[in-house]
Structure 1
Amino acid sequence: MKLGFDPSKSVFVEAVRAFHFMSHKTWEHKTEVYGRFGLSEDEIWSMFRKRPNCLSLSEKKITGVMNFLVCKMGWQAVLLPEFQAFFVLAWRRGLCLDVQLGLGISQSSISYLVIQSPSVMCQKVRKFAEVVKKVMNLGFDPSKSVFVEAVRAFHFMSHKTWEHKTEVYGRFGLSEDEIWSMFRKRPNCMSLSEKKVTGVMNFLVCKMGWQAAVVARVPSILCLSLERDYA
């Protein structure tokens, strides 16, 4: 209660569990581990208040993630408490951080994944490697941001969902080759909901008279907010 936790929130329970399973000596040791990377005591407390589980990570796990982000990626340690969810995911799942650097994925792209899609970064190495191999076989350059978009698309989409999205685009006359071409330019177009795809395509093709092939050549238009136009 003195630390400012609200008993009605789930984070209160996480904090209670953390203190229950951690001795004062262990707490001091974990604080010292984070401190090696430049985090002040206040910053560590701030991180704990947001995600108590960050102090339940093993020294090996903390060191591995911090080494990667601070030493290899060049992040400032002071920024890390904002991404405590990443630490927890790293705890629960396998890490494939060094694998990404070895594949030539740019640092800016990796940073984007850490912030926007930590689950992609923290999946089992084998699963991640399969997705990356699939994307690379499609001709994506791992040093480009569009590569990351493709990895995210395949990570969050099952084969069944992919086939369904292909069928949705096909209703408007797009061939399989055109859909693949569209995906290579803007992978996010396959992550859009059926409602979004149908609404935009109906507006552009049926109301505006555009040819579906034209939309396929400029797939970024599918991601625009046109709801008021086709609603």
Structure 2
Amino acid sequence: MFCFLRRIVASRRQISPLTFQQVLCVQNQWLPSTARYCNSVSSNGHSFTVSYLIDTCGLSPEQAASASKYVRFESREKSDLVINFLKNLGFSQSQILRFTREVPQLLRYDPEKTLLPKIEFFISRGVSSSDIPKLLCRDPDIMRRSLDKKLIPSFDFFRDLFQSDGKFIKSLSYFPRIILHTSTRVVPNMKLLKEVGVPELNIIKLLQFYPRTFTKSPRKFNVIVEQVQEMGVDPSKSQFIMAVDALSSISKATWSKKAHVYKKWGWSDDDIVAAFRRSPSCMKKSVDKIDATMELLVDKLGCPPSTIPNYAVVLSLSLNKRIVPRASVFQVLLSKGLVKKESLLSIFVCTERDFLNRFILSHGGEGSELLKLYQAKLDVAG
């Protein structure tokens, strides 16, 4: 792979500048062609830059005008070299659009000196060459940071923390920006969680699966942690880090909208907090998902609203793939007197094996029909 990448830029030296530009024009046929740029230099750098960003990179006029505030060039030679380099790495047109829109300054870089060493570094640490475009497009700003001063030290920090390159690469794929805020945000926020009593193992889990949470500014992160504490969530439990993540991902206005839906179905403020303590993800679901689940539980299945906070995890489960199929089985069992209505919510939280054993296979002759019903509902859900 490294040799292949080297050949991308090395081949430039083997032909004359004029021939190289002509080759680029041919190689980039998948992009909108602008033949008048191939061998000309505009006297108006700004106009040339805007036109190039529109015709070659695919930006809209508004995007190109905005990007031209941060980069300007009078010749397409360097920028063509960067775009052709990205193309050979497997970037699609839409990915190049994203890349150049987010960090247009990269069009002036020497790909061999600036881009290639960073790409080689990520590949050497285990990022597959096919995943490079996706990684870089999630946060193109990575390519502007120093390899020796920023990327390598940060990668080593997380690798030592996770005790695995692979685990960190997975986290990095979720949210690449985390590698850019190691000392300024991640470390201070980790320290705060330790100070309030969150076990290190839970901190690492939060960092591994929800890395975005740690890129909040320490000031905002501190406010979120205080709110979770005020709700009475135990720092030693996994619910604490889940609550921190939930509050990090929703605004006060969004919380109010979702709280309003729960109140519509008979919950009090205390009920909402109690549910959040047990299953913080109940506040991460969309307003429509919350409303549809409560409607099924309360209106169609007759579940008292006041009992639902004790099984708040149900609100985080898939409506079509879990709640509806199991509810269909429960309704049949209830109609035949084989279960009590009070056991409704427990049917949703048990494991798949326990559900099949307790509510389907244990009912003898009824079991085969119940299994068909359950499977049919699952098939509809896809």
TM-score range, shorter chain: 0.7 to 0.9
Give 2:69's aligned residue. Answer: none
Distance in 2 between residues matched to 1:222 and 1:172, nearest whole Å: 13
1:182 to 260, 275, 289: 275
Give 2:43's aligned residue. Answer: none
Q: Does the 8 Å CA contact 2:175/2:211 hold for their aligned counterparts?
A: yes
Q: Relative to 1, partners in 2 of residues 1:44 and 1:95: Cα closer, same or farther, differing over 3 Å?
A: farther
1:40 pairs with 2:124: yes
Tell me which amino acid in the other structure corresponds to 2:124.
Answer: S
Tell me which amino acid in the other structure corresponds to 1:57.
Answer: R
Q: Relative to 1, partners in 2 of residues 1:125 and 1:46: Cα closer, same or farther, differing over 3 Å?
A: farther
User: Computing the radius of gyration over CA atoms, which structure comes out larger, 1 or 2?
Assistant: 2
Q: Relative to 1, partners in 2 of residues 1:41 and 1:142: Cα closer, same or farther, differing over 3 Å?
A: closer
Q: Does the 8 Å CA contact 1:94/1:123 hold for their aligned counterparts?
A: no
Q: Does the 8 Å CA contact 1:95/1:121 hold for their aligned counterparts?
A: no
Query: Per-residue deviation at 1:215?
Result: 0.8
Q: Relative to 1, partners in 2 of residues 1:121 and 1:18: Cα closer, same or farther, differing over 3 Å?
A: same
Distance in 2 between residues matched to 1:198 and 1:84, nearest whole Å: 32
Helix, strand or coil: the match of 1:218?
helix
Q: Does the 8 Å CA contact 1:200/1:222 hold for their aligned counterparts?
A: yes
Tell me which amino acid in the other structure corresponds to 1:204.
Answer: L
Q: Which 10-residue stretch deviates more, 131-140 or 52-61?
A: 52-61
Query: Per-residue deviation at 1:204?
Result: 1.4
Distance in 2 between residues matched to 1:22 and 1:92, nearest whole Å: 25
Give 1:135's aligned residue. Answer: 228
The unaligned stretches of length 5 or more in structure 2 are 1-83, 328-382
Query: Per-residue deviation at 1:18?
Result: 4.4
1:51 to 91, 115, 135: 135
1:111-155 CA distances to partner (integer Å, 9 max, x unpaired)? 444454332221222111221222123232334321122112211
Give 2:157's aligned residue. Answer: 68
The structure showing larger relative contact order (alpha-carbon pairs under 8 Å, at least 6 residues apart) is 1
Q: Relative to 1, partners in 2 of residues 1:149 and 1:78: Cα closer, same or farther, differing over 3 Å?
A: closer
Using structure 2 for the length normalisation, give the TM-score: 0.50
Distance in 2 between residues matched to 1:48 and 1:207, nearest whole Å: 48
What fraction of aligned residue pairs are identical, expressed as a percent? Answer: 25
Using structure 1 for the length normalisation, give the TM-score: 0.77
Give 2:95's aligned residue. Answer: 10
Give 2:67's aligned residue. Answer: none
User: When the two structures are aligned, how many residues end up with a matched partner?
Assistant: 226
Cα RMSD after superposing both structures:
3.6
Distance in 2 between residues matched to 1:14 and 1:146, nearest whole Å: 37
Give 2:242's aligned residue. Answer: 149
1:125 pairs with 2:218: yes
1:101 to 190, 193, 216: 190
Q: Does the 8 Å CA contact 2:282/2:315 hold for their aligned counterparts?
A: yes
Tell me which amino acid in the other structure corresponds to 1:97.
Answer: V
